[in-house]
Amino acid sequence: MRWLAFRIGLLSMALPALAQNPVFVVKKMREWDHRSPDGRCIIRVRVDDEIDAELRGDRVLLRTIGGRPGNDEGTECTQPLPAGGFTRFSFKGIDGRGEVRLVQEPRLGNNWTAIVAIRDRKGGDEGYTFELSWSTRGGR
């Protein structure tokens, strides 16, 4: 019985952390094609203070660093982020009032995850949009 109480206690501690770090599946753009050598994602999120947006495959994790948890605002991709074989990977900030920067390109050492840091130091939340694009042309 104590083992069950212990496991329930661990779960109750983990649930708030999960709520702080929402994960969502990206929407498919009309030109979705998982076989194409080129892909891109337009990431649209709402941020209050600080988050790291992590794209792996067709999922985005919004890791809350400070402030309220981030929210998806219509993120969409032409395909899942591939696991390797990149000949090109790029980041482009589109809008948002704070700092948005690519902190890690996808690689074997981070399980093929792109990580973008968003720091919004002004009061209240703000919408942010950025684009990740890649090519595996000739890389596989």
Domain of 131 in residue numbering reads as 22-135
12 lies in some domain: no
Bridging pattern class, strands 49-56 and 88-95: unpaired
Calpha distance 44→7 (Å, rounded): 36
Q: Is residue 33 part of a domain?
A: yes
Pairing mode, strands 38-47 and 71-72: antiparallel
- Summarised one tens digit per residue, pLDDT across range 50-103 is 999 999 999 999 999 999 999 999 999 999 999 988 999 999 999 999 999 999
pLDDT of 19 reads 54
Q: Is residue 40 part of a domain?
A: yes
Q: Please give the tally of structural domains in the chain.
A: 1
CA pair distance 36, 31, nearest whole angstrom: 10
The 10 Å CB-count burial string (b at 16+, else e) for 11-27 is eeeeeeeeeeebeeebe
What's at 83, amino acid-wise? Answer: A
In a domain, 17, yes or no: no
Q: What is the pLDDT of residues 111-120, one digit of tens each?
A: 999 999 999 9
The reply to whether 104 falls in a domain is: yes
